[in-house]
Structure 1
Amino acid sequence: MGNRSFLILHGVENHRPAGHWQHDLARRLRDRGEQVLYPQLPDPDRPSLEAWTAAVEDGLAAMSGERVVICHSLACVTWLHLAARSGGALLADRLLLVAPPGPGAFSWDVIAPFTPDPLDLTGLPLAAGSARLVCSDDDPYCPEGADTAYGLPLGCDTDVLPGTGHLAIPDGYGPWPSVLDWCLDGTVRLTARPTAG
């Protein structure tokens, strides 16, 4: 187990439902005796970039040992903004970005202030150790392809999972054993969750 802590960050309109893979992940990690922070980010239906980055900073301040951060959807872009403001400081030891929304998604007024357009993704300080992007080839919130929109400019390892949508409850994500495996061993590549039957 070692001395480490996990910070799990959700996306827009996510009220941490019990059926979501992040909720399941938090429970499974806690069951193993791990330190887990899974905060409800402020006003998830009408998020504010400033409020979300402040909440993430509070979470980081509460972590100890190896800092492992797992972001889904809008939390990924929140992390990119925070990294851009860090002055080169490395805020996490390991980072997992799951299904960030693509450039076209920010035409939605609710998340428009989070647009990554002003950020220079090349060379952004993501994590002291490994940073990994996991995305689908058919995410309706990123038709541009997150591997192209984010993985290439960020220069991070990327796992593309075919036909997995936005990697959320409507897509069957639910418990996701692979993400727990990655949390326990950062060298693991992410795979799609097993299908029933």
Structure 2
Amino acid sequence: MSSQAIRYLILPGWQGSPDAHWQSHWQRSLPNTARVEQRDWQNPQRADWVAALEREIAADSRPVILIAHSLGCVTVAHWAAQAPLALLRRVRGALLVAPADVERPGCPAELRNFAPIPRELLPFPSQLVGSDNDPAASVPRVLELSHDWGSELAVLGGAGHINVKSGHQRWEQGFAYLYRLQGLIEQQARQRA
């Protein structure tokens, strides 16, 4: 897949992705990359976050790959469950990293308005990357989400929430999952041809 033919859209989670976060590094490294900016990173509102994603996809007719982290993953699922077909067709795939289980016991109150998490199959290829010690989502929950969404799954050992706090500033090895996703997209395109 030509990098000139595709654009990448970064979807940070709750509180955004600071400059040291791997999503910020990827935004600086990948060509044709933009970030979905939210009005309020501290007190996320599901309708606002979904609307911001839709505006970004609608603003550019080029095909897009979504690169979501944490609450950004749940935002993708909510958007896909109600998006217009014309916009869904622009999305070639989604890399979903460390999805936040907003239904878990002890979930921060700020995130609970994102529940329930949509359980529908995503209408585009997706690669979900979780961790066996992520405080935001247990392994059984990550397995459920990957099954429900139809995502290819990778569970990393000891990677925490795959963020700055867990030592994933540049996360160069994460590009392997992006390349795997691009392979899935190309495979699906060949099957349709």
TM-score (norm 2): 0.82
Cα distance in 1 between the residues matched to 2:163 and 2:23: 9
Structure 2 counterpart of 1:159:
154
Structure 2 residue runs without a partner (length 5+): 185-193
The number of residue pairs the alignment matches comes to 178
Shift, 1:13, TM fit: 1.4
Shift, 1:38, TM fit: 1.3
Distance 1:142 1:184, change over 3 A: closer
Larger helix proportion, structure 1 or 2? 2
Distance 1:184 1:123, change over 3 A: closer
Cα distance in 2 between the residues matched to 1:143 and 1:37: 30
Cα distance in 2 between the residues matched to 1:150 and 1:106: 19
Cα distance in 1 between the residues matched to 2:183 and 2:158: 23
Structure 2 counterpart of 1:177:
172
Match of 2:183 among 187, 191, 196: 187
Cα distance in 2 between the residues matched to 1:146 and 1:38: 27
1:97/1:134 contact within 8 Å kept:
yes
Cα distance in 1 between the residues matched to 2:141 and 2:21: 21
2:131/2:139 contact within 8 Å kept:
no
Structure 1 counterpart of 2:81:
84
Structure 2 counterpart of 1:8:
10
Secondary structure of 1:170's counterpart equals coil
Distance 1:155 1:39, change over 3 A: closer
Q: 1:25-104 residue pairs with structure 2 within 5 A? A: 25-29=26-30, 34-86=31-83, 89-90=88-89, 92-102=91-101, 103-104=103-104
Distance 1:64 1:146, change over 3 A: farther
TM-score (norm 1): 0.81
Look up the equivalent residue of 1:55 and give its one-letter code: A
1:142 aligned to 2:137? yes
Distance 1:166 1:71, change over 3 A: same
Distance 1:63 1:182, change over 3 A: farther
2:10/2:34 contact within 8 Å kept:
yes
Give identity over the alignment, percent. Answer: 29
1:83/1:91 contact within 8 Å kept:
no
Secondary structure of 2:110's counterpart equals coil
2:4/2:32 contact within 8 Å kept:
no
CA RMSD across the alignment: 2.1
Structure 1 residue runs without a partner (length 5+): 189-197
Distance 1:6 1:168, change over 3 A: same
Distance 1:174 1:107, change over 3 A: closer
